[in-house]
Amino acid sequence: MKHIVLFGAGKSATVLISYLKELATEKQWRVTVADSQLVVAAAKTGIHPLVQPVQTDILDDSKRKELIGAATLVISMLPPALHYLVALDCLAYKKTPAYGILCG
């Protein structure tokens, strides 16, 4: 089963999260929405059997690497200064970066 990990659940991710929920239902893919505030991620994901909100500190190397390592596709909606952390881990896990914010 494909697994999409989205880092960041801020205002700019709202429409994307809605789209990923639809995609998860249609394709039977898992989606993880990781944000520093679990309440924010949970509010955007709602209750969905294939979509899981998680709290994570993007500076927590082990948690970030765990999420990226388990993903088929990684999307970063983080502030631009934090994209490099995700990109470096995508390269380490042989996920090919695309457009600077997607790895898959």
Query: Apex CA 44: angle with CA 91 and CA 97, to 5°?
Result: 15
Number of structural domains found in the chain: 1
Answer whether 0.95 is exceeded by the pTM: no
The contacts of residue 47 (CB under 8 Å, 6+ apart) are none
Strand 51-55, strand 3-7: pairing = unpaired
Q: What average pLDDT does this structure show over 77-81?
A: 91
- As a whole number, the mean pLDDT across the chain is 91
Q: What average pLDDT does this structure show over 1-21?
A: 94
pLDDT at 96: 60
pLDDT classification of 95: cutoffs 50, 70, 90: confident
| 89 Rama sector, left if φ>0, alpha if ψ -120 to 50, beta otherwise | alpha
**Full domain range(s) for residue 60:** 3-103
If one counts every other C-beta atom within 10 angstroms of the C-beta of residue 75, the result is 22
Return d(Cα 93, Cα 85) in angstroms, integer.
13
Give the pLDDT confidence of 25-47 residue by residue, as tens digits: 999 999 999 999 999 999 999 99
Return d(Cα 74, Cα 21) in angstroms, integer.
15
Give the pLDDT confidence of 43-71 residue by residue, as tens digits: 999 999 999 999 999 999 999 999 999 99
- Would the pLDDT of 90 be above 70? yes
In angstroms, how far is the first alpha carbon of the chain from the final one? 14
CATH number of the domain encompassing residue 60: 3.40.50.720
What is the amino acid identity at position 79?
A: P
